Amino acid sequence: MYIRFHREGQGLGQTRGVQAAKKILDGARRVTVLTGAGISTDSGIPDFRGPQGVWTRNPAAQNASTLTHYLNDPEVRRAAWRARLDSPAWQARPNVGHLALVDLERQGRLRALVTQNIDELHQRAGNDPALVIEVHGTMRRVVCWSCRREGPMEEALERVREGEEDPRCQRCGGIMKSATISFGQPLDPQTIMRAEVAAMSCDVLLAVGTSLGVHPAAGLVPLARQAGAEVVIVNAEATPYDSMAAAVVRGSISDVLPALVELPATPVDDLA
C-alpha cells in the first residue's frame, strides 16, 4: 500500500505520510540516503531549480555550470569567480536535517550517503566522509583543467580578493574551475559505481530534498526498487519517481527528517 502526502492535503494527510515513512524506516537495517539541494536550503544555500532557485532567478547563471561556456568564455569565468566569492555556502552551517542523518549513522543503519550537493555540509555535520558519496564533486576544492592539479578553493578565492578576475593555475597557467561536475563533463565512473552499489544493497532508499530530475543520481531510485528496497521520498515538490515510492512526504525537511530517523521504541533486531 502506497501512502503519499501532497501539499494540498496538509494536516491529517501529512501525519499519515510521516507515519507511513517512519514505519518503513523503523524496520530498516541498511539505509542509503540520497540528498539534493533541498536539504541545504535551511542552511541558507538556495537550490537551483526551485521557485527561488539560483537559475530560476537568473537563468544566465547556469552558463557557469556548463563546461563549454565556462572553458570558452572568459566573461563567464569572471562571473563565476565573483559568484563563488559571494556564495552563501561559505557561511552556511549544517541544519537539523543534516544532523538527523548523523544520528542515523550513529545508530549503525546508514549504508551510504549519496549527495548531489557540493557544499560538504554532511561532512561538517559529522557524517563519516568515507560514507559520503559526492556524485557532483565539491565546491571547496579547485582543479586545473589542463594539468589536473588540485588545491583548496579558499586559496584561489584569496587571489580573486586580491584582484585576479580569472586566476590561472600557478603550475601550468591552465584554466581553473571548482572541483564540481559541470553540465557536459563526465562523471567519475568509480563514484557512480559506489552510488549504484549502495542503492542496490540497502533495505530502504531515502531520497531527501531532491527533484530527482538529474541523472544518473535520479536513476538510483528505480535501481534500488528493482533490487528489492523500499523507497521513501521527502521533498517539497512532486518528483518523477513519486509513484515508485512506498511513502512520499511533503514538508519542511528540518521538521520531518528528525522524526523519520528517530530510533523506534522497539529496537530493530540485529542492527548492523
In this structure, are 7 and 120 located in the same domain? Answer: yes
Q: For residue 235, give the nearest of 27, 37, 1 by alpha carbon.
A: 37
Of 180, 213, 243, the last residue of a domain is 180
The rounded average pLDDT for each run of 10 residues, N- to C-terminus, in the chain (272 residues) is: 37 66 94 96 79 55 83 95 92 96 97 97 98 97 97 97 96 96 93 98 97 93 97 94 95 92 60 39
Rounded to an integer, what distance in angstroms lies between the CA atom of residue 3 and that of residue 55?
A: 32
Q: Which residue has the cell 541545504?
A: 40
Residue environment code for 166-176, b if the CB has 16+ CB neighbours within 10 A, otherwise e: bbebeeeebbb
Consecutive H or E run containing 31: strand 31-35
In this structure, are 80 and 174 located in the same domain? Answer: yes
> Which neighbouring-strand residues pair with 112?
32
Rounded to an integer, what distance in angstroms lies between the CA atom of residue 95 and that of residue 146?
A: 37
Of 180, 211, 238, the last residue of a domain is 180
In this structure, are 1 and 101 located in the same domain? Answer: yes
256 class by beta-carbon count within 10 Å (0-12 exposed, 13-18 middle, 19+ buried): buried
Residue 136 annotated among the catalytic residues of the structure = yes
C-alpha cell at 3: 501512502
In this structure, are 216 and 236 located in the same domain? Answer: yes
Domain that holds residue 165: 51-91+137-180
Q: What is the CA radius of gyration of the chain?
A: 19
In this structure, are 207 and 264 located in the same domain? Answer: yes
Catalytic-role residue among 98, 122, 136, 215: 136
∠ CA 169-175-176, nearest 5°, is 70
What one-character DSSP code corresponds to residue 63?
A: G
Q: Which residue has the cell 531527501?
A: 208
In this structure, are 120 and 245 located in the same domain? Answer: yes
In this structure, are 174 and 203 located in the same domain? Answer: no
Count: domains in the chain: 2
Alpha helices in the chain (DSSP H): 12-26, 54-57, 67-72, 74-85, 96-106, 121-125, 153-161, 189-200, 220-226, 253-261
In this structure, are 267 and 209 located in the same domain? Answer: yes
Of 180, 214, 248, the last residue of a domain is 180
In this structure, are 75 and 38 located in the same domain? Answer: no
In this structure, are 108 and 174 located in the same domain? Answer: no
CATH of the domain at 55: 3.30.1600.10
In this structure, are 104 and 222 located in the same domain? Answer: yes
In this structure, are 150 and 67 located in the same domain? Answer: yes
CATH of the domain at 127: 3.40.50.1220
| Separation of CA 67 from chain center | 20
